[in-house]
């Protein structure tokens, strides 16, 4: 794929993401950065809303959905929490994963899609966004409870 073709594919993918974020996100939460091919938005989920960032990387043909969880993990819980994240990633996921940075206490869910020499449909992109939202919503309670410093 030439760089010109990659740029066209990236632009198409970004435009699909823009339309889907406009359709699915909480209206006033949407932030679109055309220059960096990034979109941020909040989505309705229980018990927390889910914040997603979509980023398109034309230099390597990768699109990511990234969700930073809305709480920090205290240092006293780092080891136990890291084991939980490893267990969830290993046992529960075929697509996507949680990353945990114990130095900062931050937890993120990441789903990546390669699109070099591919055509990603609007339906696949919507399914990926819905998967990311439902996955984060499903694990938010469990991870929040594990991170609580009692």
Each residue of 35-83: pLDDT tens digit?
999 999 999 887 778 999 999 999 989 999 999 998 999 999 999 999 9
* Per-residue pLDDT at 101: 96
Q: Which fold has domain 3-147?
A: Yope Regulator; Chain: A, (3.30.1460)
Averaged pLDDT of the chain = 92
* Per-residue pLDDT at 116: 83
Percent of the chain clearing pLDDT 90 (strictly above): 76
Alpha-helix runs per DSSP H in the chain: 3-24, 78-92, 122-147
**Encoded tokens for 23:** 């359709």
DSSP SS3 for 2: coil
Q: Is the pLDDT of residue 105 over 90?
A: yes
DSSP SS3 for 76: helix
Closest to 56 (Cα-Cα) out of 4, 97, 25, 12 = 12
Question: What confidence tier does 19 reach under pLDDT thresholds 50, 70, 90?
Answer: very high
């Amino acid at each position: 794929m030439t760089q010109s073709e990659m740029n066209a594919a990236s632009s198409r993918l970004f435009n699909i993401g823009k339309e889907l974020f406009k359709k699915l996100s909480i209206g006033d939460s949407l932030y679109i950065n055309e220059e960096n091919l990034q979109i941020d938005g909040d989505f309705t989920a229980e018990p927390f809303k889910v914040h997603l960032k979509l980023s398109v990387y034309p230099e390597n043909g990768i699109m990511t959905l990234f969700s930073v969880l809305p709480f920090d993990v205290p240092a006293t819980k780092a080891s136990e929490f890291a084991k939980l994240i490893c267990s969830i990633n290993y046992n529960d996921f075929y697509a996507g994963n949680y990353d945990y940075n114990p130095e900062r206490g931050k937890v993120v869910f990441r789903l990546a899609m390669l699109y070099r020499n591919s055509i990603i449909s609007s339906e696949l992109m919507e399914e990926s966004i819905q998967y990311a939202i439902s996955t984060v919503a499903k694990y938010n309670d469990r991870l929040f409870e594990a991170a609580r410093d009692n």
